Amino acid sequence: MIIGIIGLGTVGFGTVDILTKEKERLEKEIGEDVIVKYGCALENPGLPEGIIYTDDFKEVLNDPEVDVVVELIGGLTFAKTIILSALESGKHVVTANKALIAHHGQELFEAARKNNVNIFYEASVGGGIPVVVPAKESLIANNIKKIEGILNGTTNFILSLMETDNLDFSEALRIAKNLGYVEADESLDLDGYDAAHKIAILAMNAFHIFFDFDLINTTGIRSVTKVDMDFAKKLGYRIKLIAQAKKLEDSIGIDVSPTLVPMTDIVGNVMDAYNVVEITNDYVENVLFYGKGAGRYVTASAVVADIMKTHNKELWTHDYTYTDKITPIDVSKYYIHTSEPIEIDYEESYTDKGEYIYITNEISIHDVEDAIKGKDYALFKVRD
């Protein structure tokens, strides 16, 4: 197995490090040599002896000895060119590029099938948590009904800080930035797009569909206040950024939104920069995947697993159908906070110094909108 790694940032160099340190053990596992021939980046980060440094990705793609191209530069344009070129050259591809898979997965998988090679992307969802492969392979006997979880460690870290350290959103965000948790484009984390990319990938495989990523209803955590976190806590909930996808009557519901999760729930107790994915099935019922969602070696672990997977030579199929029937999940329980009482079908309520808090029964968002029309309010979903 001859490998070319394009992108030597945090995850890329971590991948090189693991492949170097664990070379003998990995070779024993798969029964063939594991050789990193190229490391490609704009600058040489100090590659181990024996690995060729290049700043020209074409050198990697044009080398007939290279079996596996690892794309770790990210983005939607240059990375797409690299991956398509690699696939068209008959090379397997491993990537952690969640945005690219979410937006252009259909095109990439069709190119892989056409050229009789694989593209693996475990590291694109949940960092080092093995969830893509188990959901696609180990749960094959099941019809997946719903996927739900915390898919962005940065927002979970911020929300955890707000609760445990009694901070407001801006203070918690500043700490997260100082620790390097926040993407250069902070909207990917704070506005929910990173989590949306990941739930899109999981939904694609769970329901065997391709769809336009822009159909996903996405709301981030900027509207979450310490006040509402405190009210939620008094009622036995924590606010988490929850991504979910499930089968509805005539569509697939997918959305990302701040959600009150019961403190008695496992998901409600996932704190700091950890991720959790819960998959509801018809035969094995609920399966949970939990672990760190980001980090040099955490994500590199998943990349290396995918590289080893190319040894099997069995092609992953993505013979899915395209659908435009992607809708928000509008029927839910809701948390409503207003400064005056409202008429709503509620399960429980709480009043404190002129503030009115409701946890509704499961109702349509349209009923909620009618009740809060013309009023100041905070509104979040509630996990049942």
Active site residues: 198
SS3 363: strand
374: which residues sit within 8 A by CB, 6+ positions away?
Answer: none
Alpha helices in 89-225 (DSSP H): 98-114, 132-133, 153-164, 169-178, 187-190, 193-207
Cα 340–Cα 342–Cα 346 angle in degrees, nearest 5: 125
Longest dimension (CA), the chain: 72
Q: Which residues of 165-189 are buried (b: 16+ CB within 10 A; e: fewer)?
A: eebebeebbeebeeeebbeeeeebb
Please state the φ and ψ torsions of residue 136, each to the nearest 5 degrees.
Answer: -85, -30
246 annotated as a binding-site residue: no
Beta-carbon contacts of 95 under 8 Å, excluding residues fewer than 6 positions away, are 70, 71, 72, 79, 83, 101, 119, 120, 121, 123, 124
Residue 177 marked in a binding site: no
- Spell out the residues 6+ positions from residue 206 whose beta carbon is closer than 8 angstroms to its own: 135, 144, 147, 245, 279
Do 270 and 172 contact (CB within 8 A), yes or no? Answer: no
Specify burial of residue 371 (Cβ count, 10 A radius: 0-12, 13-18, 19+): buried
Q: Residue 23 in contact with residue 34, Cβ under 8 Å?
A: yes
Residue with tokens 């440094």: 53
Asked if residues 269 and 248 have their Cβ atoms less than 8 Å apart, the reply is no
Residue type, 328: P
If one counts every other C-beta atom within 10 angstroms of the C-beta of residue 287, the result is: 17
- CA neighbor of 380 nearest in space, from 259, 262, 261: 259
* Contact present, 130 and 308 (Cβ < 8 Å): no
